[in-house]
Amino acid sequence: MTDDTGYLAVSLGTFRRTTSTSAENSARAVHIENCVIREGREIQGRKYYGEQIEISIYETKPAQELWKDDPEKIGALSTESLQMSLFLPADAFGTLWAAAAALNTSKSSSEPTAVNGT
């Protein structure tokens, strides 16, 4: 591992499913709020145990490339805002989407995107 990689184990909080649509595209995401970091490796010389983090997981499109210099990378962590973003292919994301719907804490929202002329 390099200095900018590590691992975190978290207690999951409230799940929220979102969708957005436009004339050209649609997107799904699962946001997990009020997570608490339980253990992990120091990241950039700091321990984050007991702190809250928000995790957002987005569905990627086939052949979508997010990081050209590291094509196997699936996400990133902002140590400033304690937010993690993960990007999963449709088959893996679909399982998470269904699980979020089955949880009692799940909330859903749809966010239609305005289309020109409508």
Closest among 112, 103, 76 to 16, alpha carbons compared: 103
Query: Would you say residue 2 lies in a domain?
Result: no
Range of the domain at 45: 8-108
Query: Would you say residue 70 lies in a domain?
Result: yes
Query: Would you say residue 113 lies in a domain?
Result: no
Residues 65-96 have pLDDT tens digits of: 888 898 888 998 898 899 999 999 999 999 99
Query: Would you say residue 86 lies in a domain?
Result: yes
Distance of alpha carbon 60 from the chain centroid: 11
pTM (2 d.p.): 0.78
Distance of alpha carbon 53 from the chain centroid: 11
| Total of domains in the chain | 1
Residues 12-43 have pLDDT tens digits of: 999 999 999 888 888 999 999 999 999 888 87
DSSP assignment letter at 46: B
